Amino acid sequence: MTLLDAPVYDARRDRRRRILVITAAVVVVVGAALYLYWPRYVATRTVDRFFNALIDKNYQEAYAIWQADPKLYPMDAFMKDWGPASKWGRITKFRIEQLGLPPGGHASGLVALVRINGIQRDEARIWIQNGTQELSFYQF
């Protein structure tokens, strides 16, 4: 085949190829965005469900969302930490101030700083385990 024997330019084929490349690029970008954002979205929903259960005084549901081992963290201890006699008192409102990786980066979960009842001095630091969405106190 010589240069003079080149095939005829096919505009439809070129257009299909361009559409395919653009579609693949969009799928990659959207997939990467979802991959990076999804854990934060799920963690936010879990924390929202937990605190809304506390606001509704549904302590059994909140304890179930916390996913504590009853032998290590019984319901009595949970009520001391989150019930009406806790350091925050009866929880009436909350706001997630920050949600992200702990200092140092790479971790198996996220940390949420939650302002409870509008009190700024005592934010709850909640650890949300990736995958299981198990909640616990963040100690650092």
pLDDT per residue over 36-62, tens digit each? 888 899 999 999 999 999 999 999 999
Three-state SS for 63-113 is HHHHCCCCCCCCHHHHHHHHCCCCCCCCCCCEEEEEEECCCCCCCCEEEEE
Is 86 among the domain residues? Answer: yes
**What integer best gives the mean pLDDT of the chain?**
88
Summarize the confidence of residues 5-24 as an average pLDDT.
89
Q: Classify residue 105: in a domain, yes or no.
A: yes
Domain hosting residue 50, numbered range: 10-137
pLDDT of res. 35: 86
Number of domains in the chain: 1
Residue 138 reports pLDDT greater than 90: no
Residue 1 located in a structural domain: no
14 found inside a domain: yes
Task: Report yes or no on 68 lying in a domain.
Answer: yes
In a domain, 85, yes or no: yes
For position 31, what pLDDT does the model report? 93
Give pLDDT, residue 1.
61
- Model confidence, pTM: 0.77
In this structure, is residue 4 part of a structural domain?
no
* 111 in a structural domain: yes
Q: Note the pLDDT of residue 131.
A: 84
